[in-house]
Amino acid sequence: MKVAVTGGAGFIGSHLTDALTSEGHDVTVVDNLSRGKIEYVNKKAKFVKKDIRNELSTDLENFDAVFHLAADPDVRSSAIKPAVSYDINVAGTFSVLESCRKADAKRIIFTSTSTVYGNASVLPTPEDYPCTPISNYGASKLACEAYLSSYAHSYGMKSTSLRLANIYGERSNHGVMVDFYNKLKANPEELEILGDGKQDKSYLHVSDCVSAILTAWKKQNPVYDAFNVGSKDKMTVDNLAKSLCKELGKSPEFQYTNTKSGWVGDVPLMLLDIKKLEKLGWKPQVSMQDGLRRYLDWLKKSAK
Ligand SMILES: NC(=O)c1ccc[n+]([C@@H]2O[C@H](COP(=O)([O-])OP(=O)(O)OC[C@H]3O[C@@H](n4cnc5c(N)ncnc54)[C@H](O)[C@@H]3O)[C@@H](O)[C@H]2O)c1
């Protein structure tokens, strides 16, 4: 099939592109390289260096599916620069949808986020739990979900929102694990932990995230649907720091900023109910221990 991946030079998008090309699809990557790297783009894919806020309809003409991942994925900076995350995420997604409508694309798959739920009181949180985001990033993704639904119902393009938990793994340059890794590299004696260390969240290896995206693409029935994508267990930030230090053979003193949340917009407790996607045949395969080991191996090699 002829498919496009926006953000295909980034962390998740480049792994998705690898999987799609290995399945034999004809893949076009659209990325402005603001955060991604050209060397991550699969050599079998066609690369279009463009900003998603520009007209893409000729680039997406006659595509069977568009995987829309390009975004500003940073929760923290969305509090500091709200207009930037609005512009890239909301205006950018609207622009991609408009281009898809003009290009008559039939299928759109969008990476949303667990942060759309805000501080949910039900854990694991199912998809029908009310969405009350507490970060500008979460709000921007929820606005996109609304457009995904309205475009699906108005213009006959089947669409999907995938609410991702914390995704980690090779090629990721953001998130708590790389933050700890970099801090320990700079000073192995001390580790600053944002928050009180009791934040308790779900993490999923990128290979499981990619298989979730492919499952939803191939198996979803309704014209629009939303699915949670996460693991069945969660881990406190303290335990994550301990596991990471153990793997690296370091024993630093932990220093806490001692707030309940690590930063403005941080959701301290997060676990997604993943039964809906499991019913379509998807199941996470990589344990946290194996995934963390693979990621740390990659971080060590890529720092050389
Ligand atoms: N990594 C996670 O834990 C996580 C969790 C929930 C949701 N998500 C979502 O998954 C998607 C991928 O995230 P990621 O972690 O791979 O991020 P990433 O930053 O590695 O990838 C994003 C890609 O989008 C590109 N991009 C950014 N703005 C663009 C623009 N205006 N025009 C064209 N390209 C642009 C960047 O260059 C980059 O290659 C994002 O939509 C993100 O919001 C990620």
- What is the average per-residue pLDDT within 135-145? 98
Q: What local confidence, expressed as pLDDT, does residue 250 receive?
A: 96
The pLDDT value recorded for residue 260 is 85
**Alpha carbon separation from 62 to 2, 55, 66, 103, 220 (Å, rounded):** 8, 15, 10, 6, 21
Is 40 a known active-site residue? Answer: no
Nearest atom of ligand 1 to the alpha carbon of 34 = 37
Query: Which residue has the least CA distance to atom 26 on ligand 1?
Result: 70
Mean pLDDT of 49-69: 96
pLDDT at 276 over 80: yes
Q: How far is CA 119 from the centre of its chain?
A: 19
Name the phi and psi angles at 77, rounded to 5: -70, -20
User: Tell me: the pLDDT tens digits for 277-292?
Assistant: 999 999 999 999 999 9
CA of 74 to the centre of ligand 1 (A): 9
Q: Give the Cβ contact number of residue 108 at 10 Å.
A: 27
Contact assessment for residue 138 and residue 113, using Cβ atoms and an 8 Å cutoff: yes
Q: What is the mean pLDDT of residues 254-263?
A: 91
Tell me 91's DSSP state.
I
pLDDT tens digit sequence for 78-121: 999 999 999 999 999 999 999 999 999 999 999 999 999 999 99
- Is 0.85 surpassed by the pTM of this model? yes
Helices (H), 23-135: 75-80, 82-85, 92-102
Distance in Å, CA 261 to ligand 1 centroid: 23
The DSSP output letter for 54 is S
Does the beta carbon of 12 lie inside 6 Å of ligand 1? Answer: yes
| Per-residue model confidence as pLDDT tens digits over 167-226 | 999 999 999 999 999 999 999 999 999 999 999 999 999 999 999 999 999 999 999 999
Rounded to the nearest angstrom, the distance between the alpha carbon of 137 and the centre of ligand 1 is 12
Question: Token pair for residue 266?
Answer: 């941080």
- Atom number in ligand 1 closest to CA 115: 6
* Residue 154: per-residue pLDDT: 97
Ligand 1, from 5, 16, 34: best to mutate by most atoms within 8 Å of Cβ? 34
CATH code for 2-167+204-229? 3.40.50.720
The count of other CB atoms within 10 Å of the CB of residue 251 is 11
Band of residue 304 on the pLDDT scale cut at 50, 70, 90: low
Cβ–Cβ < 8 Å for 228, 157: no
Q: Which of 155, 167, 180 is nearest to 245 (CA)?
A: 180
- Pinpoint the residues of the chain covered by CATH 3.40.50.720: 2-167+204-229
Mean pLDDT of the chain: 97
Query: Ligand 1 within 6 A of 195 CB?
Result: no
Verify whether ligand 1 is closer than 6 Å to residue 25 (CB atom).
Answer: no
C-alpha closest to that of 163 among 106, 124, 107: 124
How far apart CA 122 and CA 152 sit, in angstroms, is: 29
Query: Average pLDDT in the 112-141 region?
Result: 98
Alpha carbons within 13 A on the beta-carbon side of 233: 9
Chosen CATH of 169-201+233-270+285-302 out of 3.40.50.1980, 3.40.250.10, 1.10.10.10, 3.90.25.10 = 3.90.25.10
In the chain, % of residues over pLDDT 70:
99
In this prediction, residues 137-162 reach a mean pLDDT of: 98
Q: Please state the atom number of ligand 1 nearest to the C-alpha of residue 167.
A: 3
Phi (first) and psi of residue 146, to 5 degrees: -60, -40
**Which residues make up the CATH 3.90.25.10 domain(s) of the chain?**
169-201+233-270+285-302
Closest approach atom of ligand 1 to CA 10: 39
Nearest to 195 by CA among 263, 148, 282, 145: 263
* pLDDT (average), residues 31-43: 98
65 lines ligand 1 (CB under 6 A): no
Rounded CA-CA distance 40/15 in Å is 8
pLDDT of 258 reads 87
